[in-house]
Amino acid sequence: MSTSTLNEKGKRIHPHKFLLWVAMGSICMMFAGLTSAYIVKRNQSNFLEFSLPLVFWYSTLVILASSLSIQLAVKSFKAREMSRYRILITITAILGVGFAALQTMGFMNLESHGIHLTGPKSNASASFILIIVGLHALHVLGGVVSLLVMFLKAYFSTTKNYSSIPIEVVSIYWHFVDVLWLYLLVFFIWIR
């Protein structure tokens, strides 16, 4: 095999990563459309203005910490420091579940302050937030399930597979969910 063939093969992206990037591009377009619709709808006279609960800021800190811990977990996995990897993937999984719990608390806080997300008393503003953040929550749920699978594999897998592709794919997706949340948070703060 010639060197140029080896270089070309080394530059190709793994099919799982490629598929993930395509999916993330589609997800970005969906959220761009939803946030654009929010901007257009916001100009209606009956659009309710309200600020996001403080718990959403706490959830932001949690997801940022989880992005750091998963990045360290990937680094530990590649260095084959498996005990450190197990600790870091456990921390990441806990933080991922914590993020999802804090997001749920944020919606419950909105409801308790009279901002109805659904039903006859709801407003288009709150319903938009429910749809946008709810769709983000579905993507977070996918990420949390992936984190939990990696957690279980770290502790209970009987085969020793040192391919870093699975943890890299989960890490890329989790960072994407993090960046997407930061975009949504900045969007809702800026648009108010």
**Whole-angstrom Cα distance, residue 86 to residue 59?**
23
Strands (DSSP E) contained in 36-108 are none
Whether 27 is in a domain gets the answer no
Torsion 78-84-86-87 (CA) sign:
negative
Whether 75 is in a domain gets the answer yes
Whether 157 is in a domain gets the answer yes
Whether 133 is in a domain gets the answer yes
Poorest-confidence range of 131-140, 148-157, 158-167, 172-181? 158-167
Neighbours of 51 (CB within 10 A): 10
pLDDT at 1 over 70: no
Q: What are phi and psi of 14, to 5 degrees?
A: -65, 140
Whether 150 is in a domain gets the answer yes
DSSP 13: P
Q: Say how many domains are in the chain.
A: 1
The most distant pair of C-alpha atoms in the chain lies apart, rounded to whole Å, by: 69
Domain hosting 156: range is 57-191
> What's the CA angle centered on 26, arms 174 and 180, to 5 degrees?
40
Neighbours of 93 (CB within 10 A): 23
Residue 136 pLDDT grade (very low, low, confident, very high; cuts 50, 70, 90):
confident
Whether 2 is in a domain gets the answer no
Predicted confidence (pLDDT) per residue in 4-38, tens digit: 444 455 678 888 899 889 999 999 999 999 888 88
Domain CATH for 158: 1.20.120.80
Whether 51 is in a domain gets the answer no
Whether 126 is in a domain gets the answer yes
